[in-house]
Structure 1
Amino acid sequence: MSYRPIKAQKTDTVLHNNASLQRLVARAQIIDRLQVLLNQYLQPAVRPYCRLATYQDGTLTLIVSDGHWATRLRYQQKRLLQQLQSVPEFNQLSRIQFKVRPPSQPNTPPPRSIELSEQAGQMIQASAEATRDPVLRKALERLAQHAKK
Structure 2
Amino acid sequence: MRDSRPQSIEYLFETTEGQNMLQSIQQRAIALNKLNRAVKGVIPAQLHPWCRVANFRQGILVLETANASWMMRLRYEQSSLLSALRAQILPSLTAIDIRINPTLAAKAQESAQESSSQSAAEEKSAGRQLSEQSAEILRSVASRSPEKLRQTIERLASLAGESTRSTSRNK
Rounded Cα–Cα distance in structure 1 between residues aligned with 2:33 and 2:21 = 18
Structure 1: how far apart are the matches of 2:21 and 2:61?
A: 24
Q: TM-score, normalized by length of structure 2?
A: 0.49
CA deviation after TM superposition for structure 1 residue 19, in Å = 1.1
Amino acid at match of 1:47: H
Matches within 5 A, 1:26-65: 26-65=27-66
Cα displacement (A) at 1:37: 0.8
CA distance in 1, matches of 2:69, 2:101: 12
Task: Tell me which residue corresponds to 1:102.
Answer: 102
Which runs of no fewer than 5 residues in structure 1 stay unpaired?
A: 1-13, 107-149
Is residue 72 of structure 1 aligned with residue 73 of structure 2? Answer: yes
Q: 3-state SS of the aligned residue for 2:102?
A: coil
Letter of the 1:37 counterpart: A
Query: Any idea what SS the aligned residue of 2:56 has?
Result: strand
1:76 aligns to what SS in structure 2? helix
Q: How many Å apart are 1:94 and its aligned residue?
A: 1.0
TM-score (norm 1): 0.56
State how many pairs are aligned.
Answer: 92
Query: 1:116: which partner in 2?
Result: none
Which runs of structure 1 show a deviation greater than 6 angstroms over 4 or more consecutive aligned residues? none
Structure 2 equivalent of residue 111 of structure 1 = none
1:20 deviates by 0.9
Cα distance, 1:76 vs. partner? 1.4
Query: C-alpha separation between the residues in 1 aligned to 2:27 and 2:59?
Result: 19
Q: Distance in 1 between matches of 2:73 and 2:91?
A: 24
For 1:67-125, what per-residue CA distance to the aligned partner results, in whole angstroms no more than 9, with x for missing partners? 111001111111111111101x311111100000101769xxxxxxxxxxxxxxxxxxx
Q: Contact (CA 8 Å) 2:64, 2:100: kept in 1 or not?
A: yes
**Does structure 1 retain, via aligned residues, the 8 Å contact 2:43–2:77?**
no
SS in structure 1 opposite 2:41?
helix
Q: Is the 8 A contact 2:61 2:97 kept in 1?
A: yes
Secondary structure at 1:55's aligned position in 2?
strand
- Percent of pairs identical after alignment? 26
Residue type at the aligned position of 1:66: N
- 1:72-91 pair list within 5 angstroms: 72-87=73-88, 89-91=89-91
Matches within 5 A, 1:5-44: 19-44=20-45
